[in-house]
Amino acid sequence: MAKTVIKSYSLSEMKDEYIGEIGTLERDKYEYELSMDVLGRMIKTARKERNLTQEQLGELIGVKKAQISKLESSANSATIDTIIKVFKALKAEISFKVKIENKNLLVS
């Protein structure tokens, strides 16, 4: 009886194969959308930890409930200014990491 060998792949290898390698337009778009999705989830989690409704958070920063809902489902269309206002209203610390030519810059 022949032994079957199953090849395993890392997540990075799967992304390279099915989405595109790092630096390609498809991969950059995927990574950006994933980041915005994670950011939206962080906002939702922080809001719930503060026991605020979407409407209450919207009132704190001067936007409608629908905008908070949209932001939590994906932060794609949000401006940095809006995101900063949201985290300030939630009394949450936020920092940004910018990478320029293999040098990391942290902004908080």
The pLDDT score that the predictor gives to residue 107 is 55
103 three-class SS: strand
- Sequence length of the chain is 108
CATH for the stretch 17-107: 1.10.260.40
* Nearest CA-CA partner of 67 in 54, 80, 56, 79: 54
Block mean pLDDT (10 aa), the chain, length 108: 84 90 89 88 93 95 92 84 90 77 62
The pLDDT score that the predictor gives to residue 104 is 63
Total Cβ atoms within 10 A of residue 65:
14
The pLDDT score that the predictor gives to residue 108 is 54
The pLDDT score that the predictor gives to residue 47 is 92
Per-domain residue ranges for the chain?
Answer: 17-107
Give the distance, in angstroms, between the CA of residue 79 and the centroid of all CA atoms in the same chain: 13
The pLDDT score that the predictor gives to residue 86 is 93
CB-CB contact of 26 with 20 (8 Å): yes
